[in-house]
A and B are shown apart, each in its own frame.
Chain A
């Protein structure tokens, strides 16, 4: 069931939701969370589809916030809210409200979203594109317990990772991190099967894929060894190789679907490691709403401490980076005993961009400035 509301308000939308539920005869609904999807017209269809598919596992109220930018200055001063309320079969399992914000109101999206949140249920905010520099500080982001970004969708993923590390707050998470869960679990399972010391590691994958960096940082953070990031043709991640005292362990995937796991002294084994759909990644994100400490720890290892980036890339990144020490992050400090060794490592990150790092960030779609609402 669909209801279109033009030039409307949040209270009219709430009324339409209640009426719609009555009309289709399901007054009580078992929705477990509110998912706020922030996107633009270009990506709205894909994002909504992924959210609806994920809602089969997590029945939710989905609020899609689409900020529309007018081409004329007159249009930008006017303000209007249009809504499309979808219930029942049209909305996966749950309810969907698509909010289109024109003009000034698009700077105050939180005022529209706040009254539409489910009472007492957790709120997850997902930016399918154009995530703010500081998700927790963003007015919409501040509404959520969990803030999902996707550095894979960014134009300069490495810079995006630095920014994420800078502004990390518990509850932040990245779909690029969710993408490597199968790799991580396979590598952990591989280490369950051998008992030997790891000497070094190398992670190879296509250029400009932040999942490769995240995996490398996770390995470096957990294993306390030197990890090299190598570039390959892809697709996605292609190989992880760990040099151990017992011989190399490799997990190699060349076609984006089937991988081969080679362990010292054991036969090679085929494992399925398919690249997953956005809806599956989102469903994984929604499964746990507590802060992801492992992600935080890997992220704050620092992308600049990885070895083996292409020289040109590193130059370009350095140029954009400002010479400031890494700010202390508000995350639980790692308690493993080896943490002290890590402190002593010579390769401390020399540079991490701070607030002015916005320079390497593409202005969203090169469109007229959609001013972000003041966090205050």
Chain B
């Protein structure tokens, strides 16, 4: 059991034994309150994740789920909504007895965020659940709400005593990205949240960190011997981290315009992936040690001298994406035709430490690209000398280790191999470890893992305040430069981004991988 879990069992539980690897980590008595429960995220991810956790026997008996939203619902309507969401989106098969266990602890509180009566009702509901379900006063508040509502909800929780931890119980806040839109706003948000919740009780969800493949980066690097010796500037030529989406902004015009791809993706997901790829070995696998190493490497990130040369932003233009006609960003509903928001961003970063000096990290993300893919490619230097003549190795590229984060989770190793035949010809081949090939059915969704960790109080997989602020320090100068200079390059939908991005790598004598 995690020492952070704050459970009441003061003495050692005789039935728990570290050697007993079969016993899962079950959260202590607790409940989850979701604000904005009628939203998409809640329906598609959170509710199914709660059910899947229950189905795997990882939720405590009496676990309670409270929905808070404006909609005029009774408890039964809410339960029905959860039922439908679970039926449609849950990963594990629907089982009536699991549902019966869950439904006993479901409540709905109707109200708006500025409605004091509603928060009083919420407090009464929580007290009632403590009596009926034995949740022991332990509640996590999941804020699945637009960023502008954060301060209101947090203040209301404080005002109505909902954030007070009494008699050894805990109250935690779970917040989703975006964590601000620049350093100043992030600091402001952190101030608002930390005024009410202690820093160890605030969990920032970056769902990428809940993915098995991302956790596997650490296993790959630190549990093996064959990768770590070459994981440095002596062997690595450069690193490419890509997150591509094939969809446009959909109905999110209001949120997306003015934010853009870099703030939406690079600031959190890509910089976290970069930190995990580049960090030194942590002293242990606990939250503090991990955060210390990630913070160190994010602090060592160096921006390019010439931001105009080594950063590129773009906007998708009309085109064909996967056989469908797609409109350009500026023609989307609700977008100002003169908008300068980036839907594509590529930046080059350096890491100033002994391991990585001189190795560029290329980060790129975009919407309406060729296909949906997230990957980390560590590209190695070419052999310093080759006994084969140049015609034999004409087709040979650089060796690479590619961590495929999604979809088709796994790891690819690319290296040269002789083509069968009488002449000497060497060509690239791929060796695959396919995580997703057969493990998909049972590997848990990121949200399952993260919600369980929140209930257990285990903060390994959650970015901390310092990490968020450091990430903004990296991105802010770039955004400021973009604000003042030029405008986004246009790229046709369904391609791999603007030509400027290709030129950016060409100048360094490199090229983007086609993921």
A residues contacting B by CB (< 8 A) are: 28, 30, 55-57, 59, 93-94, 178, 181-182, 184-195, 198, 219, 222-224, 257-258, 261, 263, 266-267, 269-274, 283-284, 288, 290, 292-294
Contacts and interface: CB of A to CB of B under 8 A. Distances in A.
Interface stretch (B57-65, B141-149, B269-277, B496-504): B57-65
B62 A258 contact: no
A293 B13 contact: no
Nearest to A274: B97
Contact of B23 (A57, A178, A185, A290): A185
Interface in B35-87: 54-55, 57, 60-62
B14 A185 contact: no
Contacts of B439: 57, 59
Contact of B61 (A189, A224, A274, A293): A189
Contacts of A56: 438, 441-442
Given A30-B433, A59-B437, A270-B101, A182 B57 contact: yes
B4 interface: no
A222 B17 contact: yes
A195 B9 contact: yes
Contacts of A57: 438-439, 441-442
A117 B73 CA distance: 59
Interface of B is mostly: loop
Q: Which 3 A-B pairs have the closest CB atoms?
A: A93-B438, A59-B438, A269-B61
Given A30-B438, A93-B438, A274-B97, A267 B134 contact: yes
A292 B9 contact: no
Contact of B26 (A189, A224, A267, A283): A189
Given A182-B57, A193-B29, A258-B101, A30 B432 contact: yes
A193 B23 contact: no
A290 B21 contact: yes
B20 interface: yes
Contacts of A93: 437-438
A184 B62 contact: no
Interface residues of B, number: 47
A188 B23 contact: yes
Contacts of B410: 30
Contacts of A258: 97, 100-101
28 contacts: A28-B432, A30-B410, A30-B434, A30-B437, A55-B438, A56-B442, A59-B437, A93-B437, A93-B438, A186-B57, A188-B26, A190-B61, A191-B14, A191-B16, A192-B13, A192-B16, A193-B8, A193-B28, A222-B14, A258-B100, A267-B134, A269-B61, A269-B133, A270-B61, A272-B57, A272-B95, A292-B21, A293-B19
A59 B437 CA distance: 9
B226 interface: no
A294 B13 contact: no
Interface string B436-459: 011101100000000000000000
A283 B131 contact: no
Contacts of A283: 442
Given A30-B432, A59-B437, A192-B9, A294 B133 contact: no
Given A192-B1, A283-B442, A294-B17, A267 B133 contact: yes
Contacts of A292: 21-22
B95 A181 contact: no
A306 to B, nearest CB: 17
B14 A198 contact: yes
Contact of A188 (B13, B21, B441): B13
Given A94-B438, A222-B17, A272-B101, A189 B60 contact: yes
